Structure 1
Amino acid sequence: MLQAVCLRGLLLLLVGRQVYTEQCLKASVNTCGDCIKSGPGCAWCKDLNFTKTGEQEAARCDTPAVLKEKGCPPTDIINPKNDFIKISNKPLKAGENPVQIQPQEIQLDLRPGMPYTFQLHFKRAQGYPVDLYYLMDLSYSMKDDLENVKNLGNDLLKELNKITGSARIGFGSFVDKTLLPYTDTNEAKLKRPCSDKNEPCQPAFGFQHVLPLTKDGDKFKSMVAEQHISGNLDPPEGSLDAIMQAAVCVNEIGWGNSTRLLVLATDDGFHMAGDGKLAAILEPNRETCQLVDRKYSLLIIINKLNKLIPKSAVGVLSEDSGNVVNLIVDAYNSLSSEVIMAHEALPEFISVKYTSDCKDGEKPSDRGKCDNVNIGTEVVFDVTVTVDRCINSQSFLIGPLGFNEKLKVNVRTRCDCECDDINQPHPHCKEKGKVVCGSCRCDPGFLGQHCECQVGQKDVASLKAQCQKDNGTECEGKGDCVCGRCQCHLTEGGNNFYGEFCECDDEHCEKYANKQCAGHGKCKCGRCECNEGYEGAACQCAKSDEDCKIDGIVCHERGKCVCNQCECQRGYKGPSCKVCPTCQRPCQESGSCVECLAFGTGPFEKSCVENCKHLRHVMVEKLIKHDCRVKDKEGCWMLFTMTEQLGFDKYIVNVLKDRECPEGPNIAAIVGGSIAAVALIGLLILLIIKAVLYASDLREWKRFEKDRKHEKTSVSSVFFIHKTPTLHIRSNCLKLFSIHAFYEADYVFISFYRVPTRYSRMLRPQFKTQHFLEIHERTCWC
């Protein structure tokens, strides 16, 4: 694939004009400078006597036409215009040193928001020099193409010289970044990335500049002949890295004042923005020349090549690149006939638009582009520059893509007024201030339209605070604060605003049928005072309440009849305010009143008449249904219904004569139950204690029985008794001991088995004959 990129130039001729809509949208205007900044249609009247007494200085700011209608002399209207000055204006010419942009530098003095349009004339110069830089992919798959390019120099120069009298060619090459995963970073592979050991191969590299631009075709051939194929891992190549360096390394490449052609020869795609993250390259391209010993390897952030480079052409190389010369010539002819006007990065708040009027080419468009432009054909561009707000002096460049010739545009903003004032005290300002563009600028300590107010001990803020209603706008924006009092302005009808803070006027009331107060009343301080027989906010209705009445009652006494229609209150709806969908009956709230009215008890017992005037009660023997069920002071339930009457919170209450009172408690049952409960609880506690003791004794006895069965009989002590033995043992001791007595010779042998400790303590006082015996590790008294 062959991709040719052409960055070209235009001839410019500037003819100025300005277009804007004349209207003045002023806000917070106190000085001439504020007025000029408000919009391109605003002008200022500096006539000393233009404003009337009490009239705000903002009245001086309006469109020139309105100011003239109000009596401002045309010579006193300050209305700065855009200004255009040619700083450098060399004439256009062809030949050895062609000039293709005229003028070369301009000065624009612009008002904020006021656009200025000038014309740029372009004319292609005959024999304009051409610089061609051949940028070639030297990955291994381009091996056969490299051999053909080595013989390309003289043929390419010959064809280019047929088109232009001066042509130069240069050469550069690229592969890819020398980082994983783009290139094998093994040391041996970096030095020799080619797989064929017998093939000449150069170390891996990103971009290298081989030959600066030259007219010597033989030198091109010899330098390219020294180049060898290299290699990388992934299919995409580092094309964009190489393009960036070839474009920004102006001195190293040798770009001149000429048409610049950049020819890219490759057989694969290119790495895009974000691909560098795979190699941990996070820094964006610096857009500066990074060549060191004519080699480069950096990240570039751009997206699709053919969309980002506006003047580019694409062609398909044959397998051996044999058609490269024809492709380059065709691409140059195509690109050179395309004219694109562009600007560099613009300063903040400045905008530029282009409109092209092409001859023998495209119709006028907003693209700033013309196609099919032949040599000697003139093309006109309208360039419109607008500044949105006041800024410091700025400059930017406009020029044709592909040429070094640029138009430098210097921009200043016009945000101040030139009123030619005398810088000294003026009688118009009571000798206490100076006149600045028709208005008094008072000396410290003085205020007022004519500096007539001496502040004294008070500061400006405290005086102005006296002219503000509820910390609002000074004099409601309808007057001037003079010495702490409002001096009201005139209304549009020529009458004065009035009131302490100029809050009132008699010209801005509601209208009906395009008539103020419908013609049936007078406007007083912004509200209509209707004539007899009329009503409504705009006095638009004849007074009548026939449609609001039901049985002679207007709106059920729950609203007002306005324009013969009910305006209901407090949630009531309907044509007569009869129903309230969201209202609930006040059962609980009315309970105390119902209790005192019906039964003579409750909190309002002594003040029932005063507190319950809104209720009328009726005692009934039976209720078909009851809306309310409320408990009284004695704990009984009162049942009643509430029927709403005219007006608000007025009810007729039907109260059931008999209340529902709960029966008293059974004292005997309560006392008996309490005693039984206490007895049962005590018995339960005793049973629990007994069960615990029984379980513990049973556990000890079982352990004793188990030990007795498995232990061998052992004699703890033997007593030799020479008389007939007598043994007294109580019955309960026999239950606890296993005692074996037998006679042998003249003595008795008694053996005891081990008895639990607890039993030894229990039995100790039970024996009367007290012979102390040791039975294993326990003691027992017998």
Structure 2
Amino acid sequence: MYQLLSFLLFVLAFLVREVDPSSQECSKVNVNNCNDCITSGAFCTWCKALNFTKPGEPGSARCDTKAKLEERGCKTSDIINPQGYDAAEKNVPLQGGSSPVQLKPQAVRLELRPNQPHTFPLTFKRAEGYPVDLYYLMDLSYSMKDDLNNVKTLGKQILLALKKITSNARIGFGSFVDKTVLPYTNTNPEKLQKPCPVEETQCQAAFGFKHVLSLTNNENMFNTEVSKQYISGNLDPPEGGLDAIMQAAVCEREIGWGNNTRLLVYTTDDGFHMAGDGKLGAILKPNDGECHLIGNQYSKSNELDYPSVGQLAQTLSEKNIQPIFAVTENTKQVYEDLTKMIPKSAVGVLSSDSSNVVTLIQHAYDSLSSTVIVGHNQLPEGVTVTYTSICGDERPTTGSQGRCSNVKINQEITFNVTVTAGNCMGEQSFEIRPLGFTETMVVKISTRCQCECDENPDSHKDYCTNAGNVMCGICSCNAGYVGQKCECKVGQKTERDLTLACRKDNGTICSGLGDCVCGICSCHASEDGRKIYGKYCECDDMNCELNRGKVCGGNGKCDCGKCICNEGFQGSACQCSVSTEGCRNSRGAVCSGRGNCECNVCQCQSGYQLPFCEECPACLSPCPTYAHCIECLGFGTGPFEKNCSDSCKNINHTIKDDLGSAKVCKEKDKDNCWMIFRMTELDGQQQYAAEIRKERECPEPPSIAAIVGGTVAGVALIGFVLLLIWKLITSLKDLKEFRKFEKEKQKSKWSNADNPLFKGATTTVMNPNFSGE
């Protein structure tokens, strides 16, 4: 009852919206004929009655909402208003059994009016005994040794659990480890053959993904094939699970997937590598999403990178495969995050030895199958689709997908599908299907963009001055004729000139708001009182800014797109009363004299800050700029000494003995003295108050005696130092010569008896008187 009531309320709301004239508008932009009209807006209609327009009024005045055309006197029979419709091309009743049908209709044809949403119902009924295919994909890295021993005996239990749900259940098996290159796997030849620890006697050679058993309903075959499997190993903790899931999804023929509910149970105790990780092993080629099983092994494991999560999610969705991640507690959060990116998936926590996997699969299947999600594949360009889900006792919800939870077996639920075509198009199609099921609904779309006026082209020729034919109430003129009723005859050459005369700056003819009749713009007459005017129909009295739903806030007039406010109002939409209360600073000045008060908020000059334009952090300090004024005002000197009052009239100054510790300015005057002062900006433009310290800081004059004395002492000191240096150099030179003399002296060899200067006498004289005594 609640479901029926919700549906009726939804339909009632939709119908009220459809018939409420206040919710319908027609833009009428660039409308020249009936076809332009019905494609310009969802609520645009066309009046085909002759003489409906006033003299000089363009044909676009025939285009408006149905209500407004009727108000202007157009009969309902003269209004062209094509509507979209749907028709079921295939509508097999819902049924269970061996050939269940859960979705109807199976094919729908839509004729859509552009921009006009069209809604039709889609019904889903969860059938009892729907066939199930379950592919068990297991991590065979060494840490899963205990889990493998249990799985070898679980085939019968898993099938029995599935057969409690459906009599048609099949099971298959595959295994994975990781890519057999460094750094994922030890590439030592011995380790590649036996990647397990030494004490492990039964160990498989390293591998990426291996398909072991295609889907079968024989539990003994499952146990037999799985019992032949042994543990393997790798180096790093993350595994190559995404590679394995991708191959299990795309190798449909090898796995044996049927038109059934497809479950993929993925068991592991660790995380997974993803796209980009392959670079660590020098694998740069992206995963191509194709099947590469040769001899039931993934042959491109070491050539293609891991798939990305997005690529994998899209593939699983396309193949209607619902993954169940049976993982250990330590990796639960990783896979819960993964399920947020895969629309229909579930996570369960394995016990340390996988002994609870049967119960886990049952709970996950119940959760997945009781949640019905309806979506679509890629849509044609310009087409949008939304779904309103009517799910039992739940309130209807609308979104980009239909979704109902806790759907019971044999429960019928409805999704209202709303399709909108944004433009005219040829026949297109797309598919809608419930995720996780192979059933689909084919939706074929075509658009209604041509008016069907049912007129004889040769009728009413006199209405078109015998120079054209009536088409949906307006004249289609023969070549060489223009005008509302083909009343202007022009030559081929002058026709272009006439058209150019109606273009402003070579733009749209008559600004798109009028018709060019014999070189003069005939502006559109507006039935709602709007006045369109100007040489090129470029102006109107309504296209101005709105405030509170009124043009110019109701407090002014619209003149060619600009509001002219009444006295006492201001703002771009005359939305504000003239007031300056919010713009006055503590001294009462409006925006401190450095901005304009608009809508009671200051609009400050560049650099000044709100709220009152008092501060300007980016502005330069006034201290250097007005240093000469400080010099003449405070000390009567400087360049402005003679005309100080005129040059510095924007400064009010006071002389103080001390300025305290607050920030002050220091600038030098002409005598190289430091002037100490403080400047504060007053209200207005370049107005300042200056506080000048009475005393300047001037350097003391030099001491003459000290300078002379210091100079004489310096000269004497320099002379004394030079004398010492000369004496030192001379002494060193003498010492060097003396040592040289001593060295030469020691080298001379003198005879002790001979004097080298002595020479013997040449004559000997004897004294005869000498007796020898």
Give your verdict on TM over 0.5.
Answer: yes
Please report how far the alpha carbon of residue 451 of structure 1 lies from its aligned counterpart in structure 2 after TM superposition. 2.1
2: distance between equivalents of 1:72 and 1:496? 22
1: distance between equivalents of 2:255 and 2:184? 26
Query: For residue 766 of structure 1, what is the aligned residue in structure 2?
Result: none
Q: How does 1:73-222 map to 2 (within 5 A)?
A: 73-196=75-198, 199-222=201-224
Q: CA 1:249/1:419 → structure 2, altered by over 3 Å: closer, same or farther?
A: farther
Q: CA 1:516/1:125 → structure 2, altered by over 3 Å: closer, same or farther?
A: closer
Q: How does 1:87-486 map to 2 (within 5 A)?
A: 87-196=89-198, 199-296=201-298, 297=301, 298=304, 299-302=306-309, 304-359=337-392, 364=397, 366=399, 368-423=402-457, 426-468=461-503, 471=506, 474-475=509-510, 479-486=514-521
Name the count of aligned residue pairs: 516
RMSD of equivalent CA atoms: 3.7
Query: What amino acid does structure 2 have at the position aligned with 1:462?
Result: D
Q: Aligned with 1:356: secondary structure? A: strand
Q: Is the 8 A contact 1:509 1:516 kept in 2?
A: no
2: distance between equivalents of 1:117 and 1:493? 32
2: distance between equivalents of 1:141 and 1:52? 88
Please report how far the alpha carbon of residue 265 of structure 1 lies from its aligned counterpart in structure 2 after TM superposition. 1.0
Please report how far the alpha carbon of residue 233 of structure 1 lies from its aligned counterpart in structure 2 after TM superposition. 1.7
Q: CA 1:361/1:371 → structure 2, altered by over 3 Å: closer, same or farther?
A: farther
Please report how far the alpha carbon of residue 104 of structure 1 lies from its aligned counterpart in structure 2 after TM superposition. 0.5
Residue by residue, what CA displacement relative to the aligned partner does 1:447-489 show, whole Å, maximum 9, x if unpaired?
2222222222425321112334565654465643222234455
Q: Is the 8 A contact 1:360 1:373 kept in 2?
A: no
Residue by residue, what CA displacement relative to the aligned partner does 1:350-402 show, whole Å, maximum 9, x if unpaired?
22222322225687464622222221222222222222333343222211122
Q: How does 1:524-673 map to 2 (within 5 A)?
A: none
Q: Aligned with 1:171: secondary structure? A: strand
Q: CA 1:242/1:507 → structure 2, altered by over 3 Å: closer, same or farther?
A: closer
Q: Is the 8 A contact 2:173 2:213 kept in 1?
A: yes
Q: CA 1:248/1:233 → structure 2, altered by over 3 Å: closer, same or farther?
A: same
1: distance between equivalents of 2:543 and 2:423? 35
Q: CA 1:395/1:190 → structure 2, altered by over 3 Å: closer, same or farther?
A: farther
Please report how far the alpha carbon of residue 625 of structure 1 lies from its aligned counterpart in structure 2 after TM superposition. 7.4
Query: What amino acid does structure 2 have at the position aligned with 1:441?
Result: S
1: distance between equivalents of 2:438 and 2:70? 50
Q: Is the 8 A contact 1:157 1:168 kept in 2?
A: yes
Please report how far the alpha carbon of residue 282 of structure 1 lies from its aligned counterpart in structure 2 after TM superposition. 4.5
Residue by residue, what CA displacement relative to the aligned partner does 1:516-538 show, whole Å, maximum 9, x if unpaired?
999xxxx99x999x9xxxxxxxx
Please report how far the alpha carbon of residue 424 of structure 1 lies from its aligned counterpart in structure 2 after TM superposition. 5.0
2: distance between equivalents of 1:78 and 1:236? 66
Query: What amino acid does structure 2 have at the position aligned with 1:405?
Result: E
Please report how far the alpha carbon of residue 92 of structure 1 lies from its aligned counterpart in structure 2 after TM superposition. 1.0
Q: Aligned with 1:347: secondary structure? A: coil
Q: Aligned with 2:55: secondary structure? A: coil
Q: CA 1:194/1:373 → structure 2, altered by over 3 Å: closer, same or farther?
A: same
Please report how far the alpha carbon of residue 40 of structure 1 lies from its aligned counterpart in structure 2 after TM superposition. 0.5
1: distance between equivalents of 2:243 and 2:553? 74
Please report how far the alpha carbon of residue 439 of structure 1 lies from its aligned counterpart in structure 2 after TM superposition. 2.2
Q: CA 1:154/1:120 → structure 2, altered by over 3 Å: closer, same or farther?
A: same
> Rg bigger for which structure?
1
1: distance between equivalents of 2:643 and 2:415? 95
1: distance between equivalents of 2:340 and 2:424? 35
Please report how far the alpha carbon of residue 54 of structure 1 lies from its aligned counterpart in structure 2 after TM superposition. 1.7
Q: Is the 8 A contact 2:122 2:417 kept in 1?
A: yes
Gap runs ≥5 in structure 2: 1-9, 311-336, 546-550, 567-641, 648-773
Query: What amino acid does structure 1 have at the position aligned with 2:290?
Result: T
Q: CA 1:288/1:42 → structure 2, altered by over 3 Å: closer, same or farther?
A: farther
2: distance between equivalents of 1:28 and 1:453? 22
Q: CA 1:195/1:56 → structure 2, altered by over 3 Å: closer, same or farther?
A: same
TM-score normalised according to structure 2 size = 0.60
Q: Is the 8 A contact 1:397 1:407 kept in 2?
A: yes
2: distance between equivalents of 1:512 and 1:99? 60
Residue by residue, what CA displacement relative to the aligned partner does 1:256-278 show, whole Å, maximum 9, x if unpaired?
22222211111111123432333
Q: Aligned with 1:458: secondary structure? A: helix
Q: CA 1:625/1:167 → structure 2, altered by over 3 Å: closer, same or farther?
A: closer
1: distance between equivalents of 2:182 and 2:249? 26
Q: CA 1:397/1:509 → structure 2, altered by over 3 Å: closer, same or farther?
A: closer
Query: What amino acid does structure 1 have at the position aligned with 2:388?
Result: T
Q: CA 1:479/1:376 → structure 2, altered by over 3 Å: closer, same or farther?
A: closer
Q: CA 1:117/1:185 → structure 2, altered by over 3 Å: closer, same or farther?
A: farther
Query: What amino acid does structure 2 have at the position aligned with 1:449?
Result: Q
2: distance between equivalents of 1:626 and 1:359? 90
Residue by residue, what CA displacement relative to the aligned partner does 1:538-584 show, whole Å, maximum 9, x if unpaired?
xxxxxxxxxxxxxxxxxxxxxxxxxxxxxxxxxxxxxxxxxxxxxxx
Query: What amino acid does structure 1 have at the position aligned with 2:223?
Result: K
Q: Aligned with 1:34: secondary structure? A: helix
Bigger shift: residues 319-328 or 480-489: 480-489
Please report how far the alpha carbon of residue 506 of structure 1 lies from its aligned counterpart in structure 2 after TM superposition. 10
Q: Aligned with 1:87: secondary structure? A: strand
2: distance between equivalents of 1:162 and 1:130? 11
TM-score normalised according to structure 1 size = 0.60
Q: CA 1:446/1:290 → structure 2, altered by over 3 Å: closer, same or farther?
A: farther
Query: What amino acid does structure 2 have at the position aligned with 1:348?
Result: E
Query: What amino acid does structure 1 have at the position aligned with 2:232?
Result: S
Q: Is the 8 A contact 1:362 1:371 kept in 2?
A: no
Please report how far the alpha carbon of residue 180 of structure 1 lies from its aligned counterpart in structure 2 after TM superposition. 2.9
